[in-house]
Amino acid sequence: MYLKTRAIVLKNTNYSESSIISKIYTREFGVKTYILRGIRKGKSKIRTSMIQPLSIVEIDVYQKTNSSINTIKDLRNSPILFEIQDDIVKKTVAMFMTEIINLCLTEEVGDKELFDFLENQIIDLEQKELSVLFPCIFMLKLCNYLGVFPQGRFTKETPFFSYEEGIFTNKSDIYTASEESSQVISHLIHGGNVNFKPSTTARKIVLNSIIKYYQFHVIRNKKVKSIDILSEILN
């Protein structure tokens, strides 16, 4: 049957001499795999530039009930992400976001609230001035939709954030963030000023602390490969 949905492109893989297989997160059906036939040889009105990772698209698909790979019949960018395509810093942040989303989302189940959140985050990246803390804020907000939002806050009595427990504690060990990182994480969790700017070194440590938290609760020790280049770009 033919269906329409909004979607976010996550990953593309060349297939045969002329086609591409795309992993796409759809608003209606969750993570799906689609084939775009002839797109690499100019045989399709859909161009490869239209399906760059993190592109927001509207798609018409031919969906078979028992098929793992279905066919995209039509695709439209909505909107076109000019800033993300042209700005090297935003492009790097988009690459990082795409990797995080790919690691976190695997289910073929629609979640409209999660989709709308991701779409709004991408549009914010496209349209707004980029905060150096955007990747940290994105990951912490995403926790809420993944069911692992950290609890508590930084205080004199609880100055350490526990990766394992997802709370602020008075114990410091290899499974807790430093006091400085914990204070920044608490500031961001509780809606602190996004213009707040910790040092470059502190930002890198905070981002790595949040990734460690994800490795405990969401991505199960999988490595985030784009973190190094992101850390270099966001100086």
pLDDT, mean over the chain: 92
- Of the pLDDT bands very low, low, confident and very high (cuts 50, 70, 90), residue 209 is very high
Q: Which residues pair with 58 in a beta bridge?
A: 6, 76
More confident residue, 231 or 213: 213
86-125, pLDDT tens digit by residue? Answer: 999 999 999 999 999 999 998 878 899 999 999 999 999 9
Percent share of the chain, pLDDT over 90: 75
d(CA 139, CA 208): 11
Residue pair 105/34 in contact by the 8 Å Cβ criterion: no
Give whole-number Cα distances, 89 to 10, 95, 121, 153, in Å.
19, 10, 16, 31
Strands 30-36 and 69-77: parallel
Give whole-number Cα distances, 137 to 74, 85, 120, in Å.
34, 22, 13
Give whole-number Cα distances, 158 to 179, 193, 196, 216, in Å.
9, 21, 22, 20
pTM here is 0.93
What topology is assigned to 82-233 in CATH? Answer: de novo design (two linked rop proteins) (1.20.1440)
The reported pLDDT for the residue numbered 195 is 64
- Residues forming CATH 1.20.1440.120 domain(s) in the chain: 82-233
- Of the pLDDT bands very low, low, confident and very high (cuts 50, 70, 90), residue 193 is low
Give whole-number Cα distances, 226 to 56, 92, 102, in Å.
21, 8, 12
Give whole-number Cα distances, 214 to 7, 163, 168, 208, in Å.
24, 8, 16, 10
All residues at 6 or more sequence positions from 126 whose CB lies less than 8 Å from its CB, including other chains: 79, 81, 82, 83, 84, 90
- Residues forming CATH 2.40.50.140 domain(s) in the chain: 2-77
What topology is assigned to 2-77 in CATH? Answer: OB fold (Dihydrolipoamide Acetyltransferase, E2P) (2.40.50)
6-24, pLDDT tens digit by residue? Answer: 999 999 999 988 999 999 9
Across 131-149, average pLDDT? 95
The reported pLDDT for the residue numbered 110 is 86
Peptide bond into 79 cis (omega under 30): yes
44-64, pLDDT tens digit by residue? Answer: 789 999 999 999 999 999 877
